[in-house]
Homo-oligomer: A and B are copies of this chain.
Amino acid sequence: MQSFDYCTPTRLIFGKDSIEKLPQVLKPLGKKVLLTYGGGSIKKIGLYDKVKALLTDFALVELSGIQPNPKYDPSVLDGVRLCKEHDVDVILSVGGGSVLDCSKAIAAGAKYDGDPWDLISYKVKAKAALPIVDVLTLAATGSEFDCGGVISRTETNDKIGYMDRLLFPVCSILDPTYTFTVSKKQTAAGCADAMNHIMEQYFCADSSLLADGFMEAGLKSLMVNTRKCLDNPEDYTARAEMMLACTYGCNGIYSLGSSDTGWPCHGIEHALSAYYDITHGEGLAIITPRWMRHILNERTLPRFVKYGVNVFEIDPSLPEMEIAEQAIDETYRFFASISIPMHLRDVGIDESRIGEMAHHIAVNEGLEQAWAPLTEQDITEILLASL
C-alpha cells in the first residue's frame, strides 16, 4: 500500500434535470461567464437554449468551436483573450472532455500574464485560475472529476497532459440524458477511453484488494453498460452507470494506495492523436491489447491472471500464461465487438511516421520509468503490431 495525498473538492450534481441547479451553482462565483462549447451538438439537443434560458441574470461571453483533441491555437488562446477582455468571473464548459480540458487551460491562462503554454508545459506553476463549472454531454474522459487536461499544439505535434489542483471544476453537472444522442462511434470510444483509464491504474506493482475490486467493478460495469447503451441509446440506467464509471476514471478514487504505473498507453496514444488527430479512445483501444501482449512476461503475469479471472471470469484453474493470453484476447474482442476500428490503418495511420512518433514518445513520455518499462524500440514494436 502506497502513501497518497488526495483531495477532490468538486461537487457532482448527478441525474436527470440536474441542470436546474446551474444558476445557484454559478451565483456565488460571479456574473460574467465564459460559455465554452464545441460544435453544434449542444444546440441540436436543446442544451444551448436551456443554458441561455437559465442564465438570463448572467452576462455571457461565448467561445465555440472547441475541437476534439482541443487545440492551443486557436481555442486556448482565444479563450484566454476573451476572459481578459471581458473580465470574466467563471468559465462554464458545456460539452465533453475536450471542451472541459480546453476550459481548464483557459482558466489558468486567464490569470497569468505570460504565454499560457508556460503553464501547460510546466515551465511556470499557475498561482491562480478562474473557477470552472461544467455541464457534461459525453461519458469518457473523467475530466469532470479531475484537475487535469490534455492540450494539443499542432505545429510541434505536442499533446500534453497537464495537471494542477487549481483546476478541479467547482461543480460538474452530470445528466445522463444529455448523452442519449451521442453516436455509437463516440459512445464506444468513450468506453474505451474510460476502460483504459482504469487499466492504466490496474497494471501496477502494488495494489490492494480494495482498489483492485473497485477497478474490476469499473471495467465490468463499463463493458455491460456500454453494450446496453449501444443497443438502446436512451437506456437511462445504462447511460447513467456508464457516465459515473467514466467520471471516476482519472480522479484517483479507483486506485488510492496503488503504485503508479506510468500510464503507458496514454503516453503512446497522445503521439498518435497529436500526429494524426484521431479519436483518442479509438487510439487507446488499438494500442491497449498490443501493449499488453508486449509487456506480458513472468514478472507481469500475476496482474494479467488477476485481470483475466476477475474481469473476464476466465477459469482460474487454467495455466497462468493461458489465462493471461485469453485475457488479452478478450480485451481485443470486447473493443472489436463494440465496433471500434482495431488497426492503425483503419484510422488512417500507416508505417511512414512510426519511427518519428516512437522517438517523440520515448523522448517526451518517460515510459522507461513505467511499471513495465518501454524503450524507443519497445514503443516501435507496439506501434508496428498495432498497424
Contact = CB atoms under 8 A, between A and B. Distances in A.
A2 to B, nearest CB: 7
Given A209-B217, A213-B221, A221-B208, A4 B12 contact: yes
Contacts of A82: none
Contacts of A11: 5-7
A18 B14 CA distance: 33
A240 B213 contact: no
Nearest to A251: B253
Contact of A9 (B9, B12, B208, B244): B9
Interface string A219-241: 01100110000000000110011
A210 interface: yes
Interface of A: 1-16, 18, 21, 176, 208-210, 212-214, 216-218, 220-221, 224-225, 236-237, 240-241, 244-245, 253, 256-257
A216 B217 CA distance: 9
Contacts of A13: 4-5
A291 to B, nearest CB: 25
A237 B206 CA distance: 10
A31 to B, nearest CB: 23
A332 B6 CA distance: 35
Contacts of A5: 11-14, 18, 21
A137 B3 CA distance: 16
A6 B12 contact: yes
26 contacts: A1-B176, A1-B236, A1-B241, A2-B15, A3-B16, A3-B18, A4-B13, A5-B11, A5-B13, A6-B11, A6-B12, A7-B9, A7-B12, A12-B256, A14-B257, A208-B244, A209-B217, A209-B221, A209-B224, A209-B225, A209-B241, A210-B217, A210-B218, A212-B217, A213-B216, A216-B217
Of all A-B residue pairs in the complex, the 3 with the closest CB atoms, nearest first, are A213-B217, A3-B15, A7-B11
A21 B6 CA distance: 13
A224 B225 CA distance: 30
Contacts of A214: 213-214, 217
A12 B5 CA distance: 6
B8 A8 contact: yes
Contact of A1 (B9, B18, B237): B237
Given A3-B15, A6-B12, A8-B8, 17 more contacts: A1-B241, A3-B14, A4-B12, A4-B14, A5-B18, A6-B11, A7-B9, A208-B221, A208-B237, A209-B217, A209-B220, A209-B241, A210-B217, A213-B213, A244-B256, A244-B257, A253-B253
Given A2-B15, A14-B256, A256-B14, A210 B7 contact: no
B224 A218 contact: no
Interface hub of A217, A240, A241, A256 (most chain B Cβ within 10 A): A217
A253 B256 CA distance: 13
A228 to B, nearest CB: 11
Nearest to A16: B3
B3 A208 contact: no
Contact of A221 (B15, B210, B220): B210
Nearest to A8: B8
A209 B1 CA distance: 26
Interface hub of A5, A13, A210, A244 (most chain B Cβ within 10 A): A210
